[in-house]
Amino acid sequence: MNYGKKKAAKRQKKITSKSTMQGKRIVVRLFKALLICIVLAAVVGMAGGGLFIKKIIDDTPHVSTSDVKPKGFTTFVYADDGSTEIERFVSSGSNRVYKSIDEIPKNLQHAFVAIEDERFYKHNGIDLQGIARAAVVGIARGGFSEGASTLTQQLIKNNVFPNFTKEKNFYDKLQRKIQEQYLAVQIEKQMSKNEIMESYLNTINLGQNCLGVQSASQRYFGKDVSDLTLSECAVIAGITQNPTDYDPVTRPENNKIRRNKVLKNMLEQGYISQKQYDKAMSDDVYARIQATSASSQADNAYSYFVDALAQQVIQDLKDQLGYTDTQAYNAVYSGGLSIYSTQNQEMQKICDEEANNDANYPGLKEYGLDYALTVTRADGSVENYGSNNIKNYVEKTYGNDQGLLYSSEDAAKAMVAEWKSTIAQEGDTYDERITITPQPQSSITIMDQKTGQIKAMVGGRGEKASSLGLNRAYQGSKRQPGSTFKILAAYAPALDSCDKTLATTIDDEPYTLKNGNVLRNANKQYGGTTTLRNGIKKSINVVAVKLSDEITQELGYEYCEKFGISTLVKDKTINGKVFDDSTSQTLALGGITEGVYNYEMCAAYASIANGGVYNKPTLYSKVVDHDGNVLLDGTGESHTVIKDSTAYLLTSAMEDVVNSGTGTACQLPNMPVAGKTGTTTSNKDLWFCGFTPYYTCAVWGGYDDNKECDYDTSFRFRLWKGIMSRIHENLESKDFKVPTSVEKKSICTITGKLATNGCPSITEYFAKDTLPSETCSGHGYSSGRKYKSSTEDNDTTEDASSYSNNTGNSYNNNTGTTSDNTGGNTGGSTGGNTGGSTGGNTGGSTSGNTGGGSTGGNTGGGSTGGNTGGGSTGGNTGGSTGGDTSQ
């Protein structure tokens, strides 16, 4: 453009004119104002953002190092050797097994770093470089899917913000992210990298309900984490981004892609060599995972012993340490305890085998049905049904009273299906539980009488379907004790504190109870003048009840409580009726309101075996917390119930029960046994409680629904003998120790006084403070003294339901009545434990009810077969009436 001089001057004038200058000033002012506004907005925005962030940080929960350490650990249960693991207690979110950083291989640590946080060892909790990378990738992809959380942040998220999955909007997520980053920086100031790594690797969710790397190592590879190969480390590290999508069991193809990326990152970041990488990549690791998974599918149901153990530890934590129910439960199932149980694995194995051996039970095997059904109808209404609905249907449809017993499992299931079809409607949904168990059932407890430690326990026959179900040996089932109570409620207190002796005599004769009923013996016969020893040996009702009346039921009740029986009731109202076992005239016959627990009966008899000292039954020796501190000492309560002299007298008399009385089927080779049978009315409950110098064992048998065991009542003997003979197989034979407080004297078998010439005599044991001083002056037949040289079995039907209103019939469907008969394993040519020169059951000093010579005391000699009642009924061999039957 060509400006002349004139035009240039004109333009200069225009530029410098007043109006032009004013316009420029306005523009500048507007720009300055805009700039100031922008700056002010930025300052305000920054201030607001700062205040926003400050508020979020101010709302951040206070966190210490303890808050980010793992919580919820597996509890381990060990056998009585202190090292063999027998069970693990795991609740939801607690199958964690803690491992220190030194026990976790470097390859596993580096695998997590390589795939999750490659600058872990360099940053201070926040990876700014990673955040920038994630931002760039997010902008490029149009979405922020790239993660930038450090291992420290993940640790914070898992332990401090466990509900992050429930975040509803962007603000919730942003708030948590800011707090997470803030806390990560704070934690990095308090913990070393190794401490953070240790907590992280013990916290992380690794699928299949595995928390922590040790749990995952066991689940996927069946090995300790310290033994993992490089390939296996990569598999585990590859799970954490998404435990469902990268599950190596259910989605191995997805995990393989992730594993390969882990290995590639480890190679690129210098953690492994090319050779290591190639070897790991060629590993067929997923075949091993599938094989391990298939073989590790364990039964979810805990054993009866372990169920009882958990219950006892929970109760002791509450009683001894003041834990609440919730605290005690959490401690056992997620507290990482070490529970050292008293279980002897070999004994438990023997008990399990014998309890589940069909050959030990009656030939007719039946199956009991337990059923529950919840039906949700199409309209949303809910209806509940149970076993009684099926029982009523069967009775109404088929007119029989088979109850809930079936000939096979299939028959039981078929009946369920048939009944269910009668109530089904279109659109129903079902929540159903069906349990089928073989019948008759049994329960077993074995105890070391010297310590009170329970060495084995079986709470039922057949497959155990669930944890904490019916445990017939522990606190889940009360059954009537029958004649086993005679020892605890009558003979023990009489010998211990009432100046009675085994030679004390009582007339075995018809006896009228206070309610007007006449007490009977099983065979409807009576033996006349009878010693207490013979009353025990032959389980005579009249002797036990007369003795109980003399010493009072109140005293018997007190002794039962001292023996550890916790189920007795006093002035308890049930369905409007008051029950009181302490005044029941048939207490000695087991006529109690609610029944007894098997393990408590075992402990009671163990007290006798232990010289009269009761040890509270315990299932553990100690409980140690996660940090190694002893929480509970299993040494339980111990107290003297009876004098050592009383204990030995009872032991001696109960040896007669086994040698020639109602329990001959429980004799062991080369080992003395003392014990007592118990059989309730109609054979609904069958017991044998007995002991050796080593162990005490209580066995119960019967139907869960209280059906009569109408034949072969001897299966409790087969169980007891089968178990105890195997347990004692390699133990040194030894006799029961005779205490110095006991002395022997020769007495008249008729009067119980010191024998003179012409008296049928035996040598009897006495406590030194009850030695007889009066000499027999004759048998006084003409004076009305009743005496009968009994050759028949007098074992009895202790029909407490016929005599007492305190039997608990309306409450427990058990009459509390008992009937013991011969129960021998003798008969035939063996002639019991009797005959001729052996002098009955005595062989000299141990005596019995014999008298030597041809009569053989209570044996009758010859064909009567000892204590069998003669002929074909003898023992458990000579006919169907043998064993421990009634009538």
Domain map of the chain by residue range? 32-61, 95-294, 371-439
Q: Where does residue 102 rank: exposed (0-12), middle (13-18), buried (19+ CB within 10 A)? A: exposed
- The pTM is what? 0.74
Pairing mode, strands 338-341 and 75-78: parallel
Q: Which residues of the chain have pLDDT under 70?
A: 1-24, 27-28, 32-33, 37, 39-62, 64, 66, 92-94, 130, 133-148, 162-168, 171-172, 294-300, 780-887
For 670-682, give one letter per residue: b (16+ CB within 10 A) or e: ebbbbbbbbbbbb
CATH code assigned to 95-294: 1.10.3810.10
3-state helix, strand, coil in the chain (%, to 5): 40, 15, 40
Contacts of 717 (CB under 8 A, 6+ apart): 663, 665, 666, 688, 823, 825, 876, 883, 884
C-alpha–C-alpha distance, residues 849 and 538, integer Å:
10
Quick check: helix, strand or coil at residue 135?
helix
Q: What separation in angstroms does the CA of 618 have from each of 344, 537, 635, 639?
A: 13, 31, 8, 15
Q: What angle do CA 470, 446, 335 make, to 5 degrees?
A: 60
Which pLDDT belongs to residue 291?
80
Q: Are 590 and 484 in contact (CB under 8 A)?
A: yes
Beta bridge partners of 640: 613
H runs (alpha helix) in 409-540: 409-423, 484-486, 492-497, 532-537
Predicted local confidence at residue 38, as pLDDT: 72
The strand pair at 518-519 and 511-512 is best described as antiparallel
